[in-house]
Amino acid sequence: MNAFFLAAVVSGFVAWLIVRFDHLHSHLSADHDLTGVQKFHDVPVPRIGGVALLAGLSSAFVVLGLSLDETRYFWLLLVAAPAFFGGIVEDLTKTVSARSRLILTLLSAAVGHFLLDATLVRLDVPWLDMWLVSGGTFALVLTMVAVAGVTNAINLIDGYNGLASSVSCGAALVMGVMAALLGDVWLASIAFALAGALLGFLMWNYPYGKLFLGDGGAYLTGVMLAEVAVLLVSHHAEVSAWFPLLVLLYPVFETLFTIYRRLRLHQRSPGQPDACHLHHLVYLRLARWHVGSRVPRDRLLRNALTTPYLLVLWGCSAVPALLWWNNTPLLLFSAGLFAVTYVWLYQQLSHFRAPRWLIIYRPTPAVLATSTRTSTMPPADSV
C-alpha cells in the first residue's frame, strides 16, 4: 500500500502545481471550447491531468523498482508511453487525429506483448481458446484490440467531473485486491499505484473540475488497466478471464453500445461525437439540480451529481466480479444481467420515463418564485 500513498501524494501535488500556475500554461493546456456538444464547463480548465498521473505512477514505480530490484515497473512505463504521448500531444495541440491515437494505443499493446508477455492466452470460451493457447498471431491481434478497446473506453466515459477517474480508481483497487489475494505482489503494487495516482488527481477534479484528465490521462489510465487485466488472467489460471471484463464492463459496454447506436440507430460514423451517452442522459434526466440555472456553481454541482449514478452502475458488475472471480458461468450471467440493466435504463431515460425515485431535483430560484406567485395559499401576513 506504500505505492498507493506515494502515488497519491505525488499526483495530488503535481495536480496542485498545474492548477496553481495555470496562468503560465493555459494558452496551451486549457480546454477553451465551451460550446462543443460534449462540453459542460463554464471556464477554460487545464486538461493535462495526465501529467499528474504520470508523475504519481513514475515516482511509485521508481521506488518499487529500486527497492525490489524489479525492472518490469520501468518496462510498464515504456508500454504506456505511445498511448500517453498521442493523448498528451492532442491535449496541447488539438491536432492529433483519432486514427493516429488509436494506432498508438495498438502500439502500446504490442509493446506490452514483447516486453512483458502481456498476451491474452484464454477467454474461457473453448472454441476461441484453441486459437489463443499457442500465443501466436491471433493472440497478439486479439490482445491489441482488447487493450486499445479498454483504453478508448476509458476516454469515452470521461465526460463529467470524476466519472472516468473514479470508475478507473475503483477498477484498479478491485484488481489490486485480487492480485494481492493471489500473492502477486508485483501486479498488486501496480494496480494500487494506479489507484493512488487517480485519487491524487481526483482531489482536483471532483467535484469542482479544476483539472481535467484529458486524452493523455485517459489513455494512460486505460492502458494501465488493460495491461493489469491481461497480466492477471495470463499469470493466474484460477482467475476467470471474465473477471477483469466484469470489472471494466461499464466503460466497455458503453463503447460497444455507442458504436451500435451510432451505426444502426443514428446512421452516423462511430467516431463522430454526440451528447447521447448514458452519462449525458443521466445529467439531463436524473441530476435535475437547478436545471436552467446559469450560475456556474449550480452547473458544477449538477455536473458532479452525475458521477455517483454511474458509480453505482459500475458497482453492479464490479461486485459480482469480486464475489465470483473464478466462476465463469456466474460471471457470464452477471454480464448479461448488466447489459439488460444498462439497455433498460438507457431506454427509460431516452424516452423521458425516468423512475421518479432516481431523480435528484431542486428547482431554480426563478421556478421557486413562479410557484410562490401562482400558489393559491394566502400570504403569510394575512393568516
The predicted structure's pLDDT at residue 326: 95
Check residue 23 and give its pLDDT. Answer: 76
Q: How confident is the model at residue 304 (pLDDT cuts 50, 70, 90)?
A: confident
* 3-state DSSP of the chain: CHHHHHHHHHHHHHHHHHHHCHHHHHHHHEECCCCCCCCCCCCCEECCHHHHHHHHHHHHHHHHHHHHCCCHHHHHHHHHHHHHHHHHHHHHHCCCCHHHHHHHHHHHHHHHHHHHCCCCCCCCCHHHHHHHCCCCHHHHHHHHHHHHHHHHHHHHCCCCCCHHHHHHHHHHHHHHHHHHHCCCHHHHHHHHHHHHHHHHHHHHHCCCCCCCCHHHHHHHHHHHHHHHHHHHHHHCCCCCCHHHHHHCHHHHHHHHHHHHHHHHHCCCCCCCCCCCCHHHHHHHHCEEECCCCCCHHHHHHHHHHHHHHHHHHHHHHHHHHHHCCCCHHHHHHHHHHHHHHHHHHHHHHHCCCCCHHHCEEECCHHHHHHHHHCCCCCCHHHC
Does the pLDDT value for residue 177 go beyond 90?
Answer: yes
How many angstroms separate the CA atoms of 300 and 159, rounded? 13
Report pLDDT digits (tens) over 9-29.
999 999 999 999 987 787 777
pTM (two decimals)? 0.90
pLDDT digits (tens, 9 = 90+) for 81-99: 999 999 999 999 999 999 9
- Mean pLDDT, rounded, of the chain: 87
Residue 114, pLDDT > 80, answer yes
Lowest mean pLDDT among 43-47, 258-262, 336-340: 43-47
pLDDT digits (tens, 9 = 90+) for 305-349: 899 999 999 999 999 999 999 999 999 999 999 999 999 999 999
Q: What value does the mean pLDDT take over residues 111-122?
A: 92
Rounded to an integer, the average pLDDT of 152-163 is 93
Question: What pLDDT does residue 150 have?
Answer: 97
